[in-house]
Each structure stands twice: as structure tokens, then as C-alpha cells.
Amino acid sequence: MSKQPTTSELEILNILWEKQSATVRQVFEIISATKPITYTTVLKLMQIMTEKDLVERDEQSKAHLYRAKIAQSETQKGMVSELLEKVFRGSAMELMQHILESKKTSPAEMKEIRRMIAKAEKEAKNE
């Protein structure tokens, strides 16, 4: 089974990654502060995510605590790889071009991007 989360699941995972663990109530309060959603919808989503093995539930206490079972970095890597293949036909250059043309990038971010490119070039030469 694919572990790529849906948009709603990713929203919940982002909360769990940030907080490390949370109850359904805590997740609901964070999400409902920015958009209309019911507690039961969040509960159902988190139950589905448990079945999909995206999160785990600690049933030790009265209020069940949920934790992400998948790493944020692995999820990001998988989603970016999928996006790269589906949208940009595997071209990292086209992806970077799109990012740089559509989103304002700070000088600090540009400096870091250049550093990462230099590092990748160095590693490629050493292979």
C-alpha cells in the first residue's frame, strides 16, 4: 500500500510532526482555527490514518495520543519524487525553473541553493 498521504492527511501529519504527539482534540483545535471542520471529521481521518499505518495511537491514557509513523523527510522525498515524475517528466531542471520563476526567493535562500548545488556537483565528481 502506498504511504503517500492525501492533502487532509498531510495537514494532520504536519501537526503531529511539529508536536510529536497529539490528541484528536488538539489536532481539531489547530485545524479548526483556520478552516471549518468538525471534530468527528478529524477523528475519522485519524482513524483511517491509523488503518493506513500513517499514524499510531497510544491507548494508555484516557485521551488517546497519536504519533506519526512515517518520517517527515521520507514523506517529503516521496511526494517530491512523485511530483517530479508526474508533472515535470523527471526533469529536476524544469522543477527548479518553475520554483524560481513562481516563488519569490530570498537572498539567503538563493545562497543556500547555490551551496547545495556546489555540494552536489562536488559529490558527482567524486563518484
pLDDT digits (tens, 9 = 90+) for 59-116: 887 889 999 999 999 999 999 999 999 999 999 999 989 988 998 989 999 999 999 9
User: Going from the N-terminus, what domains does the chain have, and what CATH number goes with each?
Assistant: 1-90 (1.10.10.10)
**What span, in angstroms and rounded, lies between the C-alpha atoms of 80 and 38?**
30
**What span, in angstroms and rounded, lies between the C-alpha atoms of 14 and 29?**
14
pTM of the model: 0.79
28-68: pLDDT as tens digits:
999 999 999 999 999 999 999 999 999 999 988 788 999 99
pLDDT at 8 over 60: yes
